[in-house]
Amino acid sequence: MSKVITSFFFLYLFTLTLYGQEWGKTLFNDQWKFHLGDQPEAKSVSFNDEKWRELALPHDWSIEGAFSKEHPSTNQGGALPGGIAWYRKTFHLADTVGGKQVYIDFDGIYRDSEVWINGHYLGKRPSGYTSFRYDLTPYVKFGKQANVIAVRVDNGRQPNSRWYSGSGIYRNVWLITKNKIAIDHWGVFVKSPYVQKERAFIQQQTTFKNLGPKAVSADVVITVFDKENKVIVKKNFPQQLSLGKSEASLEVQVPQPVLWSPENPYCYQIETQVYVGKQLMDQYKVPLGIRHFAFDAKQGFSLNGQRKRILGVCMHHDLGALGAAVNKKAMERQLMLLKEMGANAIRISHNPPAPEFLDLCDSLGFLVMNEAFDMWRKKKNKFDYSLDFDEWHRQDLIDLIKRDRNHPSVIMWSIGNEIREQFDSTGTALTKELVAIVRIEDSTRPITAALTETHLEKNFIAQANALDILGFNYKYEQYDSLPINFHGQKFIASETTSALATRGHYDLGHDTLRFWPPSAKEKFVKNGNPDFTVSAYDQVAAYWGTSHEQAWKAVKERDFMTGLFVWTGFDYLGEPVPYDFPARSSYYGIIDLAGFPKDVYYMYQSEWTNKPVLHLLPHWNWQAGQTIDVWAYFNQADEVELFLNGQSFGIRRKQGDDIHVSWKVPFQPGTLKAVSRKNGKEVLIKEIKTASKPARIQLTVDKNKLHTGINDLAFVTATIVDNDGNPVPLADDEMVFDIQGPGFVAGVDNGFQADLSSLKGNRKRAYNGKCLAIIQAESRTGEIVLKASAKGLEGAELKLAVMKMMNE
């Protein structure tokens, strides 16, 4: 057996435990060759790819490029390059695989991908977000004979996206080997139609595939495991499997079920095994989160019989300095920051997500609106999915529903975002068609769409009377008219706010909300800040939006609004309203692109959690004679008192629906201190000190142990501090990150939306005192030593251990 084959079967044993729910499914990410540019002859087996770059997937070539206003994606698409590229992989299959079915699964390729195996054309998928499978069986070779798979990716027709898409095979790839008798692709659908305290009735719809010479009698064994992997239920179902595909509806009961919720995201596992005689032919595991929920036109949303407000954010798919390339650890970091803020829901905007993202939502406890399309037939960009909609929307929608319908986190399907057909009669028929497709594949979840037209007579999607919930984007001032205009309907604020901010930057002397740009007549703001910043006081929004406080209060005060999704949880590459280039990433996020919370993060934390919060802003490095607006977000207290160098500037209490309190304070260097109290007793103290000149670098890291084999990451925050350890809020020194040992710098960032330096080097200027280095573990074990340096500053270093996973 060759080295390639040996490593292949080692990988199989590892990934089945770590990632796989499907028997015979192995990660297929290593030892790919890559070439940027079009080489049509690369589909041939005999093509020489020796000079091509070798890399591991997932891979996004756009993020490796330079920011430029010349790129046809424009700054709306992140001002990064697209183009055409090829990937090739040579691999062997053991003789023992002969006689089995061999498939390849792509979780996502952006975009217009075409695939060949050993010179045979397998097909094309235009969508950059759809997961799909090809059957390799008729074309693969076994033993010493090599196989070559070639993938052409065309992201050259630009612009095709309203945000940064990335380019390439940016999600995971899997190789699957199956027996002739097996469970079909995405062939298990688990439902819990009746949930009681004593028991839950579990119904499993299973599709089998029999490619053998004849029909067979089989035993289908369903086993339910609890969170500790103990068997709760095991039941055998004799089945007759005819040639081709067949279906069976099988039922088991789970006694005294633990219900899944954001507070307790308890997941069982349900395993399906297919035996013919004593031979195990296939097995398939899916998560089983038992829960029941309802939407009510007056009382909103309830989960497991308890009323719950959906407190959500919208999320695009990029991972900041990593680009679009999927990394589970980076997604986990994003979700944990949002969880800590108090969010319990995610609207995936506006495309099918990576499968791992939903795995995390299941395990961390997020409610998900899973969205299929950003457009139908009517385009939003010259080369977008509207060109492919007629031919591909049915298949892409079916694939989304089948792939994701077992995730307990998914509570609703969205068939579109701000679809332009809502304004003409074609929207009615298309809505009915798309809803019918969803209902065939999953009748257990409500269907929605994110709409903008709040008058029924003008809204042809709502006129279809096919949606279970009407989502409305923005227009909070019209919420009270919704129950009148759409009588008896259920509502969710599917997109809100569009407030803008740059972390750590504050414009003084503004007490009212400013709209940048002020109207649709201006594409960009004309009188913005010359340095392309936006104030982090919650006082600037795009003309269609409003402040975070106002958007939240509008939902908070109305029971019939089931919840909201704030635009957006994180800044993302592309769509840098309100500015033209050199701005290249968004200002909308509650958290910046590097993962550093902006001040408004603590507004939500004070409103959406029960943990004590006291957050004071802004920094305290100003000029003599300036009067500073000082804000405090707080909860779990009646009042906050502010002190400057020991002198009280008064006590503030929230009045009416206030969400923050404030003072006007003449600047003096020293210590600004806020004290929150409840019933006269101190709850929290927050201090901000005037920093002196930058003196040294301070490093903190989210974890000090990394593991091989899973693209594990450590997120290192570099903060510039003075001699007393106070953060220097305006420091912009360039930092260099040098690394020794089994790791590398996977990305650097500072969160500033108009920074045009590379996100993929090992150096980055601090922005407002901070920057981020992302460290990725290699395949070998050992110790990583990271050193951070900057001219004129005392450097810092930290050490990270790289270890094998327990099941390697």
Q: Which two tokens stand for residue 368?
A: 């998900």
Residues 6+ apart with CB under 8 A from 680: none
Tell me whether residue 778 is one of the annotated catalytic residues: no
CA distance linking residue 594 with residue 320, whole number of Å:
6
The answer to whether residues 605 and 342 touch, using CB atoms and an 8 Å cutoff, is: yes
Across 427-444, b (16+ Cβ under 10 Å) vs e yields: bbebbebbbebbeebbee
- Catalytic pick from 22, 271, 418, 549? 418
Residues 6+ apart with CB under 8 A from 762: 736, 737, 738, 739, 745, 748, 773
> What spatial distance separates the first Cα and last Cα of the chain, rounded to whole Å?
20
CA distance linking residue 405 with residue 391, whole number of Å:
23
Q: What amino acid is encoded at 699 in this protein? A: L
Residues 6+ apart with CB under 8 A from 438: 397, 401, 413, 415, 447
Residues 6+ apart with CB under 8 A from 474: 452, 495, 496, 498, 544, 545, 546
Q: Which residue has the tokens 């500073």?
A: 628
CA distance linking residue 411 with residue 447, whole number of Å:
9
Residues 6+ apart with CB under 8 A from 443: none
| 3-state class (DSSP) for residue 764 | strand
Residues 6+ apart with CB under 8 A from 140: 93, 102, 117, 118, 147
- Continuous segment of H or E residues that includes residue 8: helix 3-18
Give the start-end residues of each E strand in 498-580: 514-515, 540-541, 561-567
> In the chain, count of helices (H) and strands (E)?
8, 46
CA distance linking residue 537 with residue 532, whole number of Å:
15
Q: Would you list the DSSP string of 592-646?
A: -TTSPBPTHHHHHHHHH-SS--EEEES-S---TT-EEEEEEEE-SSSEEEEEETT
| 3-state class (DSSP) for residue 55 | strand
The answer to whether residues 289 and 266 touch, using CB atoms and an 8 Å cutoff, is: yes
Going by their DSSP bridges, the two strands 734-740 and 763-765 should be labelled as: antiparallel
Residue 558 phi/psi, 5-degree rounding, is: -125, 110
- Catalytic pick from 271, 495, 549, 607? 495
How many CA atoms does the CB half-sphere of 615 hold within 13 Å?
Answer: 19
Residue 389 phi/psi, 5-degree rounding, is: -60, -50
Tell me whether residue 418 is one of the annotated catalytic residues: yes
How many CA atoms does the CB half-sphere of 79 hold within 13 Å?
Answer: 24
Q: Which two tokens stand for residue 709?
A: 């084999």
- Continuous segment of H or E residues that includes residue 9: helix 3-18
The answer to whether residues 285 and 205 touch, using CB atoms and an 8 Å cutoff, is: no
Distances (CA, A) of 12 to 26, 147, 177: 5, 18, 10
CA distance linking residue 628 with residue 313, whole number of Å:
31
DSSP tag of 585: B
Going by their DSSP bridges, the two strands 310-315 and 561-567 should be labelled as: parallel
Active site residues: 418, 495
